[in-house]
Structure 1
Amino acid sequence: MCGTEQVPEPGDEVVDTTDAVFTSLLEDSAEELYEQAPCGYLSTLMDGTIAKINATLLDWLGLERSQVVGRMRFADLLTVGGKLYHETHFAPLLQMKGEVSGIALDIKAAGKQRMPVLVTSKVKTSDDGEPMLIRTTVFDARDRRAYEVELLRGRKAAEEARRQSEADRLRLQEALAVLQQSLLPTELPVVPGLETSSHYHTASPDLLGGDFYDLFPLHSGRWAFFLGDVCGKGPQAAAVTSLARYTLRAAALHEADPVTVLATLNTVLHERYASGEGRYCTAIFGVLEPDEGHVRVHLASGGHPSALIHRADGSADYLPTPGGLLIGVLPQAPFTAAHTDLLPGDTLLLYTDGLTEARTGPDRELYGEDALRTFTAAQTPAGPQALITALSGLLASFGDGLDDDTALLALGVPAPLPTPASDNLT
């Protein structure tokens, strides 16, 4: 019955099926195993003439045994390129070493097809070491070759995609650089009785920054300047930057009081972005009024780092503007005004927080305002251009510790030229 184990009766013969399987396998002759092997076998004389070949290889070639044995050499089974490689590399290497293994060749298969194979050959020698014949094993490499072709094709496609991606990235960087430059003055104007210099450091060529600055004339010989930093990066930050720049310029031409100008910008930003995602910025706006031997500075700040003054005597200190609120956050915002005079040899420095928030040292500590003041005081008072050059080198020294864009604007009164000593005539 199904599922019931049958117990042999006494005297019944018990057949071990495992032994029967092994017995059946042993009955297969060595010749049959040779002929029906999953790979090709052949033996050749030392001149390459085929003396023996198995059925597997004959089937691949589409030839009869009588067409091959004693009539063809191993090289005759190969394609033109394979035959050339066999004569120039394979055969000499086999003669020199007595064995070659895993050589990729192509044989002329049935139907005039090219069939990729891997060939291993070994020279059989007599007892006294004389070469007698060459035994060769031929492995079907069609699947492997197809895999290699697909792999190569995939690599080429990946490389082409990488090149295309890099080209697209370079085009994007060029477009972003042009757009970034459109948000900054091409060059600072020449201001009578004043030296000026600026610098813009882009932390990433793949992103638009939100730092901005400008210097432009007002009526009555006065000049306006501003420097600011929009929250965020990318196209939206660029749109806010453009709006802020043109608003500040237009407001200054109508009413140049720094607090009033920043209040106008606050109203514009808040009304424009209050209904959606809030957009805001920090900024310093100021007015320069040249006078006899010095320049009066009247400025106001909205949430921006304080301006730094490098005096002619080498000292450096901040012009405090505490309490100024971020611009665009509230409908009405307080802004802090400050006044100072720039004397000959003095330089006023405006900067964005990418400079002071750079990471330095093994602990990646913030660079900070104290370090900036110390660095500035260590510079020889030589005017805006010299100071900006020194600060540009400082920014470069931060390396990957500088992860935010940084804008610098320096305005200074030239120091008087030294009077040349005159010879006393006697």
Structure 2
Amino acid sequence: MLKVMVSLARTLLLLGAAILFASSAARAQDGVLRVGIITDMSGQYADGNGTGSVISAQMAAEEIGGMVAGRKIEIVSADHQNKPDVAVGIVRNWIDNKGVDVIAEGVNSAVALAIQNVTREKKKIFLISGSGSSDLTGKQCSPTSVHWTYDTYASSNATAKAVVARGGTPWFFLTADYAFGQALERDASKAVNAAGGKVLGAVRHPFDTADFSSFLLQAQSSTAKVLALANAGSDFRNAVAQADEFNIRGSMQVVALQVTLTDVPALGLAHAHDLLFTDSFYWDRTPETRAFAQEFFKRHDAMPTAYQAGVNSALRHYFKAVAATNSVDAETVMRQMRKTPVNDFFAENGVVREDGRMVHDMYLMRIKKPEESKGKWDLYEYQTTVPGDQAFRPLAEGGCPYIGKQ
């Protein structure tokens, strides 16, 4: 009896696998290329990513006529709720049951790291835009991922050097206690020390914190001259506004290590003014960025953030690689993406590196004073360009285990 039951179980497993394989094969032949945008639609990153990233993906598809390599492009999207387990469930279902060929965005580093584990296992391409942890191209890298827009190393490196060069030291960090904030603090601390500055300490706050009073009091008592904000979204906005309530700027320079465009009008220039930070994109920087931004604004009633622009740029490059190879096979498309320079409104002569890092120029910016701004989205003053090979971590220092094996 036991042998019969075991035999039946094996038969059912084989039948299930055969059905799944046949289903996947059928989807592969249905003439559709499916793009899955997984993002924060309802949490603190929704304004800077969310539906704007879906719109940006739709624009990328429309720019090539809605088809590539004989396949109609279909955009699907989902809210990961800033929960890694929710994101993993969505992405597995997309790949196993919905025929999704490529995943994009993934804002929230803890979420992105979890998604990357799935796409690595399933051999699907993951185009990362909103997530920042440099671990995504470090020890947890993937041969099928491209980290497109920015990372914690690039965001902190130029800013830390500029602040230290202007006499800004020693530092104290106010850090979001999850993968992104921890990586940002780590990478910025290294940059401060390398520039000749000093770090006195740090305090970590929970994700989505409303009351920063105790953390700010610790910062004030540290005797540091620089308060570095290693957080983002509403955490960043709340920290800046409450720092002004405590008159932190009377004794410390507040430095933003990650700023999202939509944070600034939400916070107000009265609070945000004169913060130095590094970004990968600003809508009003060149004629090309303005043209993209104006089309985006028509659809979304807001100027695009760097993350939303990065989704568009990454998918443009992916679609070109699919067209050139007439394939959606991840390994084939990734080879083409690596050997083709990125030249569009977002990057000039960008390079997709072997560890998955898309290397491009970054820009040191200052947030304008209220009297300097000519409108709601006139927010940044360009300071200087940081060449990509200086902005991003050197390939040899990341510890990606796939280097030399692709």
TM-score range, shorter chain: under 0.3
Identify the structure with the greater helix proportion.
2
**Higher-RCO chain (CA-CA 8 Å, sequence separation at least 6):** 2
Q: TM-score, normalised by structure 2?
A: 0.23
Q: TM-score scaled by structure 1?
A: 0.22
Larger radius of gyration: 1
Q: Which has the higher strand share?
A: 1
